[in-house]
Amino acid sequence: MKIAIVGFPGSGKSTCFKAITQKNKSEIEAHDPTKPRLGAVKIYDHRLEKLEAIFRPKKVTHAELILEDLPGFHIPAIKEVEGLMEVLGIFSGRDPVKDMGDLDLEFILSDLEIVNRRLPGLDKELKQEPSPEKNLEREILIKCKVSLEKNEPLRDFELKHEEEKAMRGFQFLSKKPVFILGNTDENKSSPDAVSRMENFCRKKNIRCMEFCGKLEAEIADLDESERGPFLKELGIDETARERVAGLAYSALGYITFFTVKGDETKAWAVKNGTKAEEAAGKIHSDMQKGFIKAEIMAFDDLMASGSKEEARKKGLLKLEGKEYKIRDGDIIDFRFNP
């Protein structure tokens, strides 16, 4: 799960990246500012602790969120990510609602360029060889063009399932899921701006959170032994990493399934609605190609039974085919032909 951090100069984007990924000062200073930088954030799931108590694995692996801090608007890199984290500076008189609109405009113009470049070629192809698929593509692109020319991002644009599928290859930026970090100063000197950001996001159905990048970056620089007491003194229950990871998970529509294989218990992040065959491919492409069945046990059923053996005796383990839609908390053993 890779997410790009985007924001205008002076918004505190790199400071937020440092706070969330807990990169130390020397790593930040050594990085070439003209190139993207990556940071991994573990998504802690309390259910893994309970699975560890039952299965006693040697290794427990959490799902990860990969953050990419991009220099400026590096459009090709942004297209490769699954979602966008917009950092808005809420200090020194900055207007977060205006910044959100200006960021959207950048994405809209990029998408409109793609549509305008594709349509003439598509018309020529249809004259030479008409086809239902290309007709559908043309209909969708014309709908997109109308929406984009009204300065409306495509994430607000409702499409049918077959339209969504046909549109996927274009990697439109204004279609990508987005969530907002409102980066405040330590004194929270712009409460009205925070309220306006929250109200705007509520109307647009966009997830957002208030975040003091500078303070969180200072916390990230502390030794582990000092961090806990400092957070307690500030009245902070969760670190920036935990809050942002949780927000990203919900904003991008992810759920978690688990595997228990050999000496490892592992959490996997997939989009809600992912089918069993696709989920197997997350582990290894060979599993997807040779998929036979998925043995499914719900997390709550395991907890109620106390062991996999007891759950099996109660008939709580089920064999599902490739069309089964993964549910949050499923514990899965994939059967496949190697």
Per-residue pLDDT of the chain (338 residues; tens, 9 = 90+): 889 999 988 898 888 988 888 766 666 666 666 778 888 888 889 999 999 999 999 999 999 989 998 776 677 778 788 899 999 999 878 899 999 999 999 999 999 999 999 999 999 999 999 889 889 999 999 999 999 999 999 988 777 777 877 787 888 999 999 999 999 988 877 889 999 999 999 999 999 999 888 888 888 788 877 777 877 777 777 777 788 888 888 888 899 999 999 899 999 999 999 999 999 999 999 999 999 999 999 999 999 999 999 999 999 999 999 999 999 999 999 999 98
If DSSP codes are grouped into helix, strand and coil, which group holds residue 202?
helix
Cβ atoms < 10 Å from Cβ of 184: 24
The pLDDT of residue 246 is 86
104 contacts 118 by C-beta, under 8 angstroms: no
Query: What whole-number distance in Å separates Cα of residue 107 and Cα of residue 140?
Result: 18
Beta-carbon contacts of 200 under 8 Å, excluding residues fewer than 6 positions away, are 97, 100
Instruction: Tell me the DSSP string of 238-281.
Output: S-HHHHHHHHHHHHTTEEEEEEEETTEEEEEEEETT-BHHHHHH
Q: What is the pLDDT of residue 233?
A: 79
The tokens describing 26, both together, are 């020397």
CA distance 270 to 2: 12
Question: pLDDT at position 27, please?
Answer: 64
Which DSSP string corresponds to 41-102? EEE--HHHHHHHHHH--SEEE-EEEEEEE-SS--HHHHHTSSEEEEEEEESTT--HHHHHHH
Domains observed in the chain: 2-95+177-251 (3.40.50.300), 96-175 (1.10.150.300), 273-336 (3.10.20.30)
- Residue 284's identity, in one-letter code, is H
SS3 121: helix
pLDDT of residue 221: 80
Interatomic CA distance for residues 146 and 8, integer angstroms? 27
Long-range contacts of 158-167 (CB under 8 A, 24+ apart): 162/136, 163/136, 166/133, 166/136, 166/137, 166/140, 167/140
Return d(Cα 287, Cα 84) in angstroms, integer: 30
pTM comes to: 0.83
Report how far residue 117's alpha carbon sits from residue 325's, in angstroms, rounded to the nearest whole number.
37
